[in-house]
Structure 1
Amino acid sequence: MEIEKDELIQELIELVFVKAIKASKKTKAYGISRYLEDVLNEKIKERTLTRYYDGYILDKKSERRTPSEHNLNILSQYLGYENYRKFQQSREYEIVKNELRKEIISINNKLNKIKRISLFVCLFLLTISLLYISKYYKKDCMVWVGDHYEKVRCSNLVNERELDEFVLREYKKVYVVKDYVLYKNTEPTILYTGHNNSADFFTSDDIHPIFRGVYTNPIIKNPIRPKQKLLGFIKINSSE
């Protein structure tokens, strides 16, 4: 990348005087220029250097004079370059390097932005997917299996019903035999349903899992009727 000549000369003279000020500890144009004249072995006179200071450092347009090629080479050598051309190449290289660095930073920033956006999109999609899966596969229903309820995903199965945690946990079908304890502290331990001249026994109160509209009833203790007659009365399906 080629730098404008005036811009490059401005930079050269600024660097020369910054170096001279640091080395000489001088603060006035004359003192700094006298110092440079001595350091440069009078290859550039104090008066010329003062005009450079006024024109380029103090930005006095009337005093600004473009240095000759000879003076540009001398000033470049003061900064450690072989000549003005080498100084120019060095500065152009630095500018190109800085531009490349800026471009790389810009590209990295764009890539990081894309990565952040991609990560956000992935997290968003993952969240939506998890919500969908959790909702779709959430076991909000239960179905009767053998002698108990099991949790299932709601899908309109036969005898499927809305999940009831208490019923799921407490409602079980039991098979009563002659020695089964029907009462505990005068309270019935099981309930029954009567249907089609038959009976089923359950550990908790609820609707029959198969026959809709059939509800459980407590086995009421009758001191007059013996246990065997009671069991026969409700027609137990025994597993004896």
Structure 2
Amino acid sequence: MKNLNEYIQKLRTDRNMSQVEVSNAFKDKGYNVTNQMIYNWESGRIRISGELLLILCDILEISDIRAAFDRNNVPSLLSDLNESGQKMVSEYADILRASGLYKKEPAEIIPLPVKRTMKLFHLPVSAGNGAYLDSDAYDEIEVGNEVPENADFGVTISGDSMEPQFVGGQTVWVHAQNELEDGEIGIFYHDGEGFIKKLEHHDGKTFLISLNHRKYQPREIKEEDVFLVYGQVVG
């Protein structure tokens, strides 16, 4: 496997240019590069700078720098083979691909944990007969990727009316919004109490529905009631 200095020497000799000719070409471009400097580059005694490497590529008429200097570049590996040899390598590569044993696996992308601060309310919302959601009683906690990106705050459930999907003591994450579509589960305020329920509309009436139908009846929201939507449960 060639080092950079060996590539420089090979590219120069492939173009039938002497070190003196390359030195003169540098001087024509306004760079005082001696043939001794070129010898030092090619012998590995000193390393060519990035600026001079670009000028050298221009002198040697190299338009694709990566293809010329990349050690893993396949065409450069075939450059010493004649047409028959290159054809044999190509045919062997086809056999390897067809076997399926040497397929290059994509690199695994492991997402970095994203930390953010979220409000978690102390007083639980009810999955039963109601408990007041105090908007001032909360902690600021740090959460990661386990919390949906569109969540704005968390609350703790009490009761069993939303089982089996939600259980007492569970924290749910809520996207703050003041309207929900029919059938969506959200956090609601109704006459001084906080609830997690499913919103449904029937025959011009609005109901908060429990998932535990056998134990809890629908809670009707009447026109004169104080009713607010805190948001949609998203996780």
TM-score range, shorter chain: under 0.3
Please tell me whether Structure 1 or Structure 2 has the larger radius of gyration of its CA atoms: 1
TM-score (normalised: structure 2): 0.28
TM-score (normalised: structure 1): 0.27
Query: Which has the larger share of helix?
Result: 1
Q: Quick one: higher RCO (CA 8 Å, sep 6+), 1 or 2?
A: 2
